[in-house]
């Protein structure tokens, strides 16, 4: 349903504005926009209803920040992406991480995973040259180090989860699940 609506918007734009970008660019932008809007609305709505509005806001903000630098797995279906993204952010907003040793361990694991695997699936989206991609990794590492220094449990947990999601094992798992 969402894809049909997006295709109609793209066709309308091309028919009424001859200087519009290509149909594929319009569809890509609207798919990305609808994905982000649906994910944020669902996450914040559920977190508000469960009394974790601020935690939900922190998780959404951290997810957006870290994904800019490390990338993410891209589902072919908007519905699958929204379900996965919203579900993971809602889950992260409800997890209590208070032990400082656990936060340091999660931060160390996150730094290792980012060093090994980041960035993933980001060069096409941002149109980066190979030499520019290394800067994203350093920015992600600095972000994780900052969250570790200020001991931000929700942010550290979110960064860890996002770093795990770009590993080859999870990439294969997501691909397998998406085929089902």
- pLDDT for 124 equals 56
- pLDDT for 127 equals 66
Average pLDDT along the chain, 180 residues, taken 10 residues at a time: 87 88 86 92 98 97 92 83 94 92 96 93 66 84 96 95 94 85
Q: Give the separation between CA 141 and CA 107, rounded to whole angstroms.
A: 10
Cβ-Cβ contacts under 8 Å for 113 (sequence gap 6 or more): 160, 163, 164, 166, 167
- pLDDT for 75 equals 81
Backbone dihedral angles phi then psi of residue 71, each to the nearest 5 degrees? 80, -165
In the chain, where are the structural domains located? 2-179
- pLDDT for 174 equals 86
Name the DSSP letter for residue 1: -
- pLDDT for 55 equals 96
Q: Which two tokens stand for residue 170?
A: 């999870």
Spatial contact of 101 and 131, defined as CB atoms under 8 Å apart: no
Which of 109, 100, 82, 108 is CA-nearest to residue 153? 100
Q: Give the separation between CA 115 and CA 137, rounded to whole angstroms.
A: 7
- pLDDT for 126 equals 61
């Amino acid at each position: 349903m969402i894809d049909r609506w997006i295709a109609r918007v793209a066709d309308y734009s091309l028919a009424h504005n001859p200087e519009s970008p290509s149909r594929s660019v319009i569809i890509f932008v609207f798919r990305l926009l609808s994905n982000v809007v649906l994910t944020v609305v669902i996450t914040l709505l559920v977190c508000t209803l469960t009394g974790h509005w601020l935690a939900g806001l922190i998780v959404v903000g951290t997810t957006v920040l870290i994904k800019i630098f490390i990338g993410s797995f891209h589902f072919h279906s908007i519905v699958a992406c929204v379900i996965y993204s919203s579900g993971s952010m809602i889950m992260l907003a409800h997890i209590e991480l208070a032990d400082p040793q656990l936060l340091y361990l999660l931060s160390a694991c996150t730094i290792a995973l980012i060093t090994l695997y980041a960035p993933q699936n980001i060069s096409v989206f941002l149109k980066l040259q190979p030499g520019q991609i290394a800067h994203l990794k350093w920015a992600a590492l600095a972000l994780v180090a900052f969250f570790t220094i200020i001991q931000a449990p929700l942010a550290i947990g979110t960064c860890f989860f996002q770093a795990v999601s770009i590993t080859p094992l999870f990439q294969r798992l997501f691909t397998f699940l998406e085929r089902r």
